[in-house]
Amino acid sequence: MEASAVFGFLLLLLGAACGGSFGLPSKFVKKDTPWETLWGPFFFFVTILLPVTVFPLIAKGLFATAADAGWGVIAMPVLFGCLWGLGSMTLGLSFAFIGLSLAYAINYGAQIACGGMGPFLIHHPEQLATAHGAVIAVGVVVCILGVIVCGRAGVLKSKSQAGAGGSATPGGVTVVKGMTLAFLSGILCACYSIAFSYGGGVMEHSTKAHGNPGWAAAFVVSALILWGGAFSACGYCVYKLAKNKSWSNLAAPGIGRVLFIAFVMALLHDGAILFFGVGASKLGPLGVAVGYAAFMSFAIIVGNVNGFLTKEWRGASRQSVAWIGGGIAVLIVGVCLLATGNFLQGEYAKNHIAQAAK
């Protein structure tokens, strides 16, 4: 393996570690901190501050590209970005109900399944009957199965911890509500992938007008998606701050620590986007397929390791731990199948273009 490919793979693993860990710092705020006091600043940093200050350093002419491309080109990335913002917001809520481990597993499973099939059905429904279409469909089914297995683990975990007298553990209704939120958040978070599938015109303009390589031009699309997400995620937090009359918490003693934690979370979140984009570009023709499988698999593992390290599964039965382990394994198999299908789809497209040129 070439040195650049090794470097790219390491960047992917680093990005996955960031993606699987961005929720971890939320464990270190005081228990009585209102949800919106932490997550409001987090979404502001993620969707507005970092894309405005950091992304232009990566993609030359980012603002000019967004302005010149025209509303007809940027509308879909922004619209589906708004839906992604809803998903990211509900993921933050699910962390509070069921913890990192279970929320990550269910969210990522639903996100992978819908994110893998959504763009495919929207842009290439006629290819569903092809070999790569069948592989992608099977991958989606396997991911859904993985979500079901993880859900079973959550139910068993709740029952065993309640039986052990864990007063700090969530009740059955809370667990079901949290798992439902995590699943819905996964479906909505998959809109990031759909939004990106509409970003070809933006990337083409960025490359031609400003000379950005493909991986750098992708950050223009990412910025549009995140700005779309600002409307829903930040908007909901503003609503919560107003409804709960918790604006004063943003100026209360100790807010500096909360803002620091929110900023670290934001750096991890957007760092995952950065490292994935650069890392996948270093892997050559298999960059997207292999990179996607490695990134999502390791992110799922990291998210669950963080959950275990913070003792979310303390008092849980061995059976529930075995179920979550099995669910993670099934999800990783599903990720690999989807990555294989994506690679085969790329080869199909190349052959189709070559035949049309003859």
User: How many Cβ atoms are within 10 Å of 118's Cβ, its own excluded?
Assistant: 18
pLDDT at 211: 94
pTM comes to 0.84
pLDDT at 182: 92
pLDDT at 33: 92
User: How many Cβ atoms are within 10 Å of 207's Cβ, its own excluded?
Assistant: 17
pLDDT at 356: 67
Cβ proximity of 272 and 298 under 8 Å: no
Angle, vertex CA 182, rays to CA 115 and CA 150, nearest 5: 90
The DSSP-derived string for 178-195 is: HHHHHHHHHHHHTHHHHH
Angle, vertex CA 162, rays to CA 160 and CA 165, nearest 5: 110
Cβ proximity of 105 and 297 under 8 Å: no
Structure tokens at 326: 């099995």
Q: List helix spans (H) across the chain.
A: 3-19, 35-44, 50-53, 55-58, 62-68, 71-123, 131-163, 172-189, 191-197, 200-210, 214-229, 235-243, 255-281, 287-309, 318-357
- Reduced to 3 states (helix: H, G, I; strand: E, B; else coil), residue 212 is coil
- Which whole-number Å values give the CA distances from 111 to 18, 84, 130, 277, 319, in the listed order? 17, 10, 23, 18, 26
DSSP state for residue 126 in the 8-state scheme: G
pLDDT at 167: 43
Distance CA 306, CA 316 (A): 16
Cβ proximity of 107 and 320 under 8 Å: no
Distance CA 16, CA 79 (A): 26
Cβ proximity of 194 and 80 under 8 Å: yes
pLDDT at 60: 95
For the chain, 358 residues long, the average pLDDT of each consecutive 10-residue run is 72 89 92 93 97 95 93 93 95 89 87 78 81 85 88 84 59 80 92 88 93 90 95 96 94 94 96 83 60 76 86 87 91 84 74 70
Structure tokens at 16: 């996955």
Distance CA 297, CA 143 (A): 12
